[in-house]
């Protein structure tokens, strides 16, 4: 079955989708990994991540309201810069999306291993039995998405209410029962690892990964009742709500840590704390009822987030098929109006992330790098579409776009740089290889279809430049040949140059229906 998606999602559905996508396994583990990287400075890491997410959300608020299509992150660059740029942005987003449901399942299994130790081998990798359980959980998330968007939207709305209440209650209880104010000043001070630790917590520590779920509402825009009004509200509202919750969670975690767990420094938090962070802290505080609540939420929060992204990744695959960049089978809808084939393939690809060598933190690093890279295509798309389609209706217009869009692009590239060369070489290599395969396959299968290769004018320098700066930089595998005080100014200049190149060669593929004002 082919056709149009059902527009049945209201503002509360969309807000719940984005909030539910942001609050997943990250609240269970990121406070620990961020504290190991930055100590109390992790609070600053959350502020940086929240500010970056808000800037990018504002960019996508204009794009999502003006061009409300399913899988928008795969289509905005296609609309603004043509076939090749659209594919590169879409495949980057898809690679990140298909990893999210599996990472949420990993978090569920890791917490379950406290009761069923046979699920894990060494505390971080899944055992064979753990892989089987994880596969069944992922299958369940995929199956629910086959039932239709209205059922999905309603069930996710109630899950999200739970996911807001419980992660807010837990740090409040820990602060009331087990607060240690000295943790914020002792053991190396507020910034025990300096600013590099703060930046590392943003990328490999997971605070940026935690905030990336705001984009889920964009993917569901093709099923929104009133996307022009509701998409901007859902994007901006979800970032502000969840950032407040995450900062509270981080403060509660830092304060509740027993001082003896920090005797060897923040980077070496004791293994008992690392095993199941909030469970151990609640147990140490004598809050038995809270321990039980955390165990319940260690299933509910990741399950809700995985459920959202199992659906969002299918819409992205659907969008790539509509662009002609994925096989047409990905664009077919079942009787419930959902892309069933896409859900099946994404499930099979997701199983790869259960390999024994993959841990929660290693997958987070990859997702952070590749998802920020896909989001970085938003500012060039916004500025290009303002030039090539000024007459398109824009219910929400980004104020000071000439300043904020370049600033958002610079911010995205800085965060990619913070992910480090060890991660970025995989991300950029996958992206370059996928683009090369796409061009070759298209040239063979549909030789007369325009590939819009003018996009190479800025895509090649962009990917190569990110790789060089990352390889010569100061994070995770870089050679540190770029002086620490020069790296961010260098990325800013590089970003502005790439943005200028992208505006010099736009290749609009915007459908005619968006080229006329809509009535409200």
Q: CATH code at 232?
A: 1.20.1740.10
Contacts of 255 (CB under 8 A, 6+ apart): 174, 175, 178, 179, 180, 181, 183, 184
Whether residue 251 lies inside any domain: the answer is: yes
Structure tokens at 145: 């998405």
| 16: containing domain | 11-366
Q: At what angle do helices 378-388 and 72-81 cross, to 10 degrees?
A: 50
Mean per-residue pLDDT, 375-403: 91
List the single range of 1-10, 113-122, 295-304 with lowest mean pLDDT: 1-10
What band does 516 get if pLDDT is binned at 50, 70 and 90? low
Q: What's the whole-number average pLDDT of the chain? A: 84
Residue 48, in any domain of the structure? yes
* pLDDT number for residue 1: 41
The number of CA neighbours under 13 Å toward the Cβ of 261 is: 23
Q: Is residue 479 part of a domain?
A: no
Contact yes or no for 458/502 (Cβ under 8 A): yes
Helical (H) or strand (E) element with 427 = helix 421-445
- Averaged over 149-166, what is the pLDDT? 72
Q: What is the pLDDT of residues 422-450, one digit of tens each?
A: 989 999 999 899 889 988 888 887 877 77
Task: Give domain status of residue 223, yes or no.
Answer: yes
Q: What's residue 250's pLDDT?
A: 95
| 374 domain residue, yes or no | no
**pTM assigned to the model:** 0.83
**3-state SS class at 224:** strand
Helices (H) and strands (E) in the chain, counts: 21, 0
How many domains does one find in the chain?
Answer: 1
Residue 144 falls inside a structural domain: yes
Q: For residue 467, what is the DSSP state?
A: H
pLDDT-based confidence at residue 519 (cuts at 50, 70, 90): very low
- Given this model, what pLDDT does residue 450 score? 77
Mean predicted confidence (pLDDT) in 93-103: 86
The rounded distance, in Å, linking the Cα atoms of 45 and 400 is 26
Query: What does the alpha-carbon distance between residue 128 and residue 139 come to, in Å, rounded to a whole number?
Result: 17
Any domain includes 256: yes
Percentage of the chain with pLDDT > 70? Answer: 91
pLDDT band at residue 520 using 50, 70 and 90 as cut-offs:
very low
* pLDDT at position 2: 46
Buried b (16+ CB within 10 A) or exposed e, 135-171: bebbeebbebbbebbeebbeebbebbebbbebbbebb
Positive or negative CA dihedral for 160, 166, 171, 175? positive
Top-confidence residue, 159 or 58: 58
Residue 405 pLDDT level (bands cut at 50, 70, 90): very high
440 or 468, higher pLDDT: 468
Identify whether 141 is part of a domain.
yes
Query: Does residue 39 come out as left (phi exceeding 0), alpha (psi in the -120 to 50 range) or beta?
Result: left
Per the listing, tokens 């190569």 go with 464
């Amino acid at each position: 079955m082919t056709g149009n998606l059902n527009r049945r999602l209201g503002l509360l559905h969309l807000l719940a989708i984005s909030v539910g996508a942001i609050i997943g396994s990250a609240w269970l583990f990121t406070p620990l990994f961020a504290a190991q990287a930055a100590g109390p400075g992790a609070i600053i890491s959350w502020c940086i991540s929240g500010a970056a997410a808000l800037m990018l959300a504002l960019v996508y608020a204009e794009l999502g309201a003006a061009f409300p299509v399913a899988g928008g992150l795969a289509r905005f660059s296609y609309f603004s810069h043509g076939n090749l740029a659209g594919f590169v942005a879409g495949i980057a987003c898809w690679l990140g999306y298909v990893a999210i449901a599996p990472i949420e399942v990993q978090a569920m299994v890791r917490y379950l291993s406290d009761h069923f130790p046979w699920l894990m081998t060494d505390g971080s990798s899944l055992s064979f039995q753990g892989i089987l359980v994880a596969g069944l959980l992922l299958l369940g998330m995929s199956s629910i998405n086959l039932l239709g968007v209205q059922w999905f939207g309603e069930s996710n709305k109630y899950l999200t209410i739970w996911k807001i209440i419980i992660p807010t209650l837990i740090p409040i209880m820990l602060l009331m029962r087990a607060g240690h104010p000295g943790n914020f000043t002792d053991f190396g001070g507020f910034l025990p690892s300096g600013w590099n630790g703060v930046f590392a917590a943003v990328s490999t520590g997971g605070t940026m990964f935690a905030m990336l779920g705001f984009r889920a509402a964009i993917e569901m825009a093709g099923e929104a009742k009133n996307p022009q009004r509701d998409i901007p509200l859902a994007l901006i509202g979800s970032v502000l709500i969840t950032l407040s919750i995450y900062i509270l969670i981080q403060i509660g975690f830092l304060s509740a840590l027993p001082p003896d767990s920090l005797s060897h420094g923040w980077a070496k938090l004791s293994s008992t704390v690392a095993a199941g962070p909030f469970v151990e802290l609640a147990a140490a505080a004598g809050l038995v009822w809270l321990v039980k609540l955390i165990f319940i939420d260690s299933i509910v929060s990741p399950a809700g987030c995985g459920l959202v992204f199992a659906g969002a990744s299918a819409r992205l695959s659907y969008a790539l098929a509509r662009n002609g960049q994925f096989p047409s089978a990905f664009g077919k809808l079942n009787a419930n109006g959902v892309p069933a084939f896409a859900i099946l393939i994404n499930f099979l690809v997701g199983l790869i992330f259960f390999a024994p060598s993959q841990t929660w933190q290693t997958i987070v690093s990859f997702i952070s790098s590749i998802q920020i890279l896909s989001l970085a295509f938003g500012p060039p798309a916004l500025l290009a579409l303002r030039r090539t389609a000024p007459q398109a209706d824009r219910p929400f217009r980004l104020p000071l776009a000439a300043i904020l869009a370049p600033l958002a692009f610079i911010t995205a590239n800085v965060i990619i740089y913070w992910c480090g060369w060890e991660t970025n070489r995989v991300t950029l290599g996958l992206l370059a290889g996928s683009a090369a395969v796409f061009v070759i396959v298209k040239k063979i299968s549909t030789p007369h279809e325009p590939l819009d290769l003018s996009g190479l004018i800025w895509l090649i320098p962009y990917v190569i430049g990110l790789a060089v700066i990352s390889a010569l930089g100061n994070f995770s595998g870089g050679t540190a040949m770029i002086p620490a005080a020069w790296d961010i100014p260098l990325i800013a200049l590089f970003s502005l140059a790439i943005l200028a190149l992208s505006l010099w060669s736009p290749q609009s593929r915007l459908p005619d229906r968006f080229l006329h004002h809509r009535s409200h």
